[in-house]
Amino acid sequence: MTVRATRPASRQRSAKAAASRKPARARREDPAIRRQDLLAVTLSCLAKFGPRGTTGREICRQAGVSHGLLRHYFNNPDNLLLETYQQLCDNFLDRFETELSPPDTDPWVALDHFFGLQFSEEWASPDVLGAWMAFWTLVRTNEDIRLVSDSFNERLRALLAIAAARLPKKDRKLPLDDAVALLSAVMDGLWLDFCLSPTRTSRERAIELANVAARRFFAG
């Protein structure tokens, strides 16, 4: 009689399970998405802890990542706040520029869309407000942050001027630069008022008042 060797039951189960498993593939998140996630965590940290408490270590702890990963996604983690501020400004201006891109868009409609964007949840959230307030604090002590702030305000006014220049010239009652400066100040004030107290100035009311100001400044 021939005796056939057999494997222990536990080893048979292990071998069978291993054979049924497909080779694991490393799951890598898109670098752009991971970087945006880290920027979002940085904004949240700024809102909670202010600029002094928003350290690389705290960001890593909140995001659940290693410091090495932070270095992988940012040019200089020591300048993470500067990169975050630059990204925040660029994102905002890019969205506004998109609203102005179609040449056949009615100029008043383009402004209306911008007001809606400014008071959207994306740009008028507690985290974004906290981050802006932190950056405003840093403007007075950090030269690089100040330069980004100056560039942002210049570019924003330039885009507003482009939007205003498309309006019928017969509607313009103020010099263009004056009207743009006034509208920019009104928008900032309404945005801050809405962020601080949505019950005092609702989103709908803020958009309505921005529209009223634009039509007064540009159409008399």
pLDDT 10s digits, 118-144 = 898 888 888 888 889 899 989 989 999
Stated pTM of the model = 0.75
d(CA 133, CA 188): 13
Instruction: Name the percent of the chain lying above pLDDT 70.
Output: 82
pLDDT of residue 68: 84
Give the tens place of pLDDT for each residue, 17-74.
444 444 444 345 677 788 888 888 988 898 899 888 888 889 889 988 888 888 887 7
pLDDT of residue 176: 86
124: Cβ contacts below 8 Å, ≥ 6 apart: 118, 191, 194, 195, 203
pLDDT of residue 27: 44
Closest of 218, 207, 216 to residue 167, by C-alpha: 218
Give the tens place of pLDDT for each residue, 151-210.
999 999 998 888 888 887 765 678 888 989 999 999 999 999 999 888 999 999 999 999
Of the chain, the end-to-end C-alpha distance in Å amounts to: 109
pLDDT of residue 9: 52
Asked if residue 75 lies in contact with residue 83, where contact means CB atoms within 8 angstroms, the answer is: yes
pLDDT of residue 56: 86
Tokens standing for residue 62: 């909140």
**C-alpha dist (Å) from residue 63 to 47, 69, 82:** 15, 11, 19
Which CATH code is given to the segment(s) 82-219? 1.10.357.10
Closest of 195, 193, 167 to residue 180, by C-alpha: 167
Tokens standing for residue 190: 């309404």
* Coil, strand or helix at 74: coil
d(CA 93, CA 143): 21
Kindly tell me the burial class for residue 112, based on how many C-beta atoms sit within 10 Å of its own C-beta (0-12, 13-18, 19 or more): middle
Asked if residue 85 lies in contact with residue 148, where contact means CB atoms within 8 angstroms, the answer is: yes
Q: Domain limits of the chain? A: 82-219
pLDDT of residue 22: 44
d(CA 148, CA 131): 14
d(CA 14, CA 7): 11
